[in-house]
């Protein structure tokens, strides 16, 4: 199982929220990730004309992050902001973004459940937009990923002394199945090779070497796990078939890993900027719409009407606001005759 550098995965400290406006030229505990380029801090206009914002979103004179589309960055290069690992709860991610420039690439948010999970795109915007800041708001619900490959990290226990150990290699990828990246680089250059590597990685390609390599880490969905377990069970009754003696253990990932990723477009007029990145420990929209006002409690002499709304959170202590609202109704005097002479 993959472990956090310097400590076990169980020792990983998860956070409930994140809030960063980059005013101190800090990522507030986040990091750039291991990709081709890094976001840069900037105030005022970006160095290139006809692209990027003229100021930050927070105050207009503060600091923001932007991806420099000029050289040495190349088409397809990625810029990442990785938020600190979040608790396995519902969250709301919001941020402001600026994508002005005729050669603007893409901006996306990705999430994976557990450090070994496969990243899934939650939101994406591509191409040029107007010269202004836009707000993005994305729901983060870990339950959506429970049956996804990103939630199934498989620990494999292999008994190498079992006589059936030399097995079923026909269902696994071999060295020859991995793309020939050297050929790709020769034909399409470094950029195309990077794309191929990323596509192979993000598609969840299962790659195992031979037994001597001791490959024990595989990413599978639950259906794959069930299918492999069924094949293993059938092997007991199939003469001449040998299989790896392995116990498949789906293990839920710990922590939510959120990444905001920019991808450089086809030219230098493509500076993308982000600002005011925030993650809360509640849903983005936690309140339902108000109901209609109910019938007045009295027909005269002063009554009360009530309307209600529901909170979507399981822990109602996190619901900041009122569940009910009251207003007065039918305030006129009961019985007798009265006239206010409003109509003369």
For position 116, which CATH number holds?
2.60.120.200
Tell me how crowded residue 99 is: count the other CB atoms within 10 A of its CB.
Answer: 28
Taking the C-alpha atoms of residue 42 and residue 23, their distance in angstroms, rounded to an integer, is: 10
> Based on the domain organization, do 30 and 134 belong to the same domain?
yes
> Which domain does 189 fall in, by range?
150-251
Contact predicate 20/172, CB 8 Å: no
> Based on the domain organization, do 264 and 290 belong to the same domain?
no
Q: Give the residue among 208, 220, 126 at the shortest CA–CA distance from 173.
A: 208
Q: How many structural domains compose the chain?
A: 3
pLDDT at 152: 43
Q: Looking only at Cα atoms, what is the longest distance across the chain? A: 107
pLDDT at 39: 96
pLDDT at 237: 43
pLDDT at 103: 95
Is this structure's pTM higher than 0.95? no
- For residue 3, being part of any structural domain is answered with no
> Based on the domain organization, do 31 and 96 belong to the same domain?
yes
Taking the C-alpha atoms of residue 31 and residue 51, their distance in angstroms, rounded to an integer, is: 25
Taking the C-alpha atoms of residue 315 and residue 70, their distance in angstroms, rounded to an integer, is: 48
pLDDT cut 90: percent of the chain above it = 46
> Based on the domain organization, do 215 and 83 belong to the same domain?
no
Taking the C-alpha atoms of residue 270 and residue 264, their distance in angstroms, rounded to an integer, is: 7
Q: Which residues contact 98 (CB under 8 A, 6 or more apart)?
A: 52, 53, 57, 64, 66, 129, 131, 132, 133, 134, 272, 273, 274, 275
- For residue 4, being part of any structural domain is answered with no
Residue spans of the chain under pLDDT 70: 1-11, 146-253, 313-315, 336-344
pLDDT by residue (tens digit) across 154-209? 444 555 555 544 443 344 444 444 445 455 444 555 666 666 556 555 444 333 33
E strand or H helix that includes residue 190:
helix 181-202
> Based on the domain organization, do 112 and 235 belong to the same domain?
no
Tell me how crowded residue 60 is: count the other CB atoms within 10 A of its CB.
Answer: 10
Structure tokens, 95? 């941020």
């Amino acid at each position: 199982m993959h472990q956090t550098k310097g400590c076990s995965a169980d020792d990983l400290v998860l956070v409930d929220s994140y809030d960063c406006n980059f005013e101190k030229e800090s990522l507030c505990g986040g990091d750039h990730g291991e990709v081709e380029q890094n976001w840069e801090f900037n105030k005022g206009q970006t160095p290139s004309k006809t692209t990027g914002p003229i100021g930050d979103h927070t105050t207009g004179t503060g600091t923001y992050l932007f991806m420099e589309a000029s050289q040495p960055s190349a088409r397809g290069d990625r810029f990442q902001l990785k938020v600190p690992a979040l608790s396995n709860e519902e969250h709301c991610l919001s941020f402001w973004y600026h994508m002005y420039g005729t050669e603007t690439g893409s901006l996306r948010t990705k999430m994976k459940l557990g450090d070994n999970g496969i990243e899934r795109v939650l939101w994406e915007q591509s191409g040029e937009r107007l010269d202004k800041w836009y707000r993005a708001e994305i729901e983060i619900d870990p339950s959506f990923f429970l049956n996804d490959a990103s939630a199934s990290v498989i620990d494999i226990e292999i008994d190498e002394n079992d006589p059936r150990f030399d097995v079923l290699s026909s269902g696994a990828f071999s060295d020859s199945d991995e793309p020939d990246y050297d050929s790709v680089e020769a034909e399409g250059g470094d950029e195309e090779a990077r794309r191929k590597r990323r596509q192979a990685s993000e598609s969840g390609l299962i790659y195992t070497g031979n037994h001597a390599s001791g490959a024990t880490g595989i990413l599978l969905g639950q259906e794959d796990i069930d299918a492999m377990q069924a094949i293993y069970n059938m092997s007991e009754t199939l003469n001449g078939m040998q299989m790896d003696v392995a116990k498949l253990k789906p293990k839920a990932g710990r922590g939510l890993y959120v990444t905001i990723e920019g991808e450089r477009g086809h030219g230098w007029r493509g500076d993308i900027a982000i600002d005011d990145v925030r993650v809360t420990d509640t849903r983005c929209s936690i309140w339902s719409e108000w109901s209609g006002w109910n019938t007045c409690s009295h027909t005269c002499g002063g009554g009360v009407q009530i309307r209600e709304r529901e909170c979507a959170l399981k822990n109602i202590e996190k619901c900041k606001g009122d569940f009910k609202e009251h207003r007065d109704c039918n305030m006129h005097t009961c019985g007798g005759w009265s006239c206010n002479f409003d109509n003369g």
